[in-house]
Structures are given as C-alpha cells and as structure tokens.
A and B are shown apart, each in its own frame.
Chain A
Amino acid sequence: QVQLQESGPGLVKPSQTLSLICAVSGASISSGFYYWTWVRQPAGKGLEWIGRVYTSGSTNYNPSLKSRVTISVDTSKNQVSLELSSVTAADTAVYYCARDSLAEGFWYFDLWGRGTLVTVSS
C-alpha cells in the first residue's frame, strides 16, 4: 500500500524559505506514470495547487507561485521536496503531498498524504 508522509518545520519566519519533504513508502517513486504534487490549504479555505514534478525531474508550477517555488524529486531517497522562498503570513497553510496518476490520458489525484501545518510567523 503506497503511502505519502509530509514532514518539515511547522514554523517558518517571514522572508525565509519553507522546506518540506514528502516521503513515499510502499512503492518506488519511479514506478508507473506519476507526477508528485504539492497542494496547500489555508485554514478554512479551499485547495491551492502549488506544483508537480515527474520522476524525470520535469516540473509544472502554479503561475502565481512560480517565481518562489522549487519542487524536486530524489529517487534514491524515494522522496519529493518543496521549497517556497520569501514566505509571508499568507503562506500559512496545511501543505499536502499528492500523487497525480494517469488513466486513458486523464490525470487525477488518487493518493494524498495527511498534510502538515506550516505557520509563518516571527
């Protein structure tokens, strides 16, 4: 059973860089046709897609966050990482890692981590 587990600092200071890891267990991150995605959700608000990475390293980013986001994959560690620079209080949210699967030419999020809360505050 494939599982995703997000981890990282729960508190980040304004202007610093938020760094999170998504550890994939139960299968090789390189197997199958999957993108690995980051999504965030501020308290009481909706879902916001941050970006995704393929195992080849190919990425797509949310245009509104693109200048601050880096998503990468480490196949040797079976994990995906997220870096978001120059954070402000508006970046406070629960951050989810999700798997983006392909079926008949259609991508969809079929697997989610439990999420990790990141608060930006001094």
Chain B
Amino acid sequence: QAGLTQPPSVSRGLRQTATLTCTGNSNNVGNQGAAWLQQHQGHPPKLLSYRNNNRPSGISERFSASRSGNTASLIITGLQPEDEADYYCSAWDSSLTAWVFGGGTKLTVL
C-alpha cells in the first residue's frame, strides 16, 4: 500500500545536502502534511519530523522538512555516513480514513 510516491533511491556525497520528496494528493499530504521516518536496516522506524517541520527532541537540526501543495520534502544537510538509511513519508488520508505511506527512499551517502 504505497499511497504516497517517493523516489526509490537517492545518492549524495559526504557533507552534501539531500532532498527527498513525497507526493500525495489533497486528501493526505496536501491536507494534513506529512511526517518523516528513518529506518536503518534491521531496526524499527524512527520519527524524524511531523506536521511538516516539527522535530522530536534528540533529532538533529540537519533534518528539516517542508511542504508545497501535495508534495512534502525532507532536507538533510551535511550528510554523514550514519544518515544512510531508508526514509519513509506518512500522512493521514481523510478520504480513506487511513494512514498511507510512501514506498520509501533508500539514501546512499557516497
């Protein structure tokens, strides 16, 4: 159930900036915005941001998020090796009355 669209993979160099996108529609991202999750191999997902650009305590300021229309973005600055992970966006769909996820983006730090 990949209700939101994410690019399957993104590669950037060390200390560079990566922008990950997540496209939905007016019932989900365009309505409620998106939350972003990070998942390292073999671990559960971890919340990075919610309500477009609120970060839980303990999450680095290198992670920021934004939304424009039906597309949400996660911007990671100063890429570090530990940022290499899968990133998922999520949004509540008011039409489906269900959560929808993106298919995930695998970020590779070169």
Q: Identify which of residues 45-68 in chain A touch chain B, using a CB-to-CB cut-off of 8 Å.
A: 46-49, 52, 60-64
A108 near B: Cβ within 8 Å? yes
Q: Report whether B45 and A109 are in contact in the complex, using a CB–CB cutoff of 8 Å.
A: yes
Tally chain B residues at the interface, Cβ within 8 Å. 26
In the bound assembly, the distance between CA atoms of A103 and B33 in angstroms comes to: 13
**What 1/0 mask marks residues of chain B from 90 to 110 whose CB sits below 8 Å from any chain A CB?**
101000111111111000000
A34 near B: Cβ within 8 Å? no
Q: Report whether A109 and B90 are in contact in the complex, using a CB–CB cutoff of 8 Å.
A: yes
Q: Report whether B98 and A47 are in contact in the complex, using a CB–CB cutoff of 8 Å.
A: no
- Complex: chain A residue closest to B37, CB-CB: A109
Contact of A37 among B37, B99, B100 (CB under 8 A): B99
In the bound assembly, the distance between CA atoms of A62 and B99 in angstroms comes to: 8
Contact of A48 among B1, B46, B54, B56 (CB under 8 A): B1
Q: Report whether B44 and A46 are in contact in the complex, using a CB–CB cutoff of 8 Å.
A: no
A13 near B: Cβ within 8 Å? no
In the bound assembly, the distance between CA atoms of A109 and B37 in angstroms comes to: 9
- Give the shortest distance, in Å, between B65 (CB) and chain A (any CB): 12
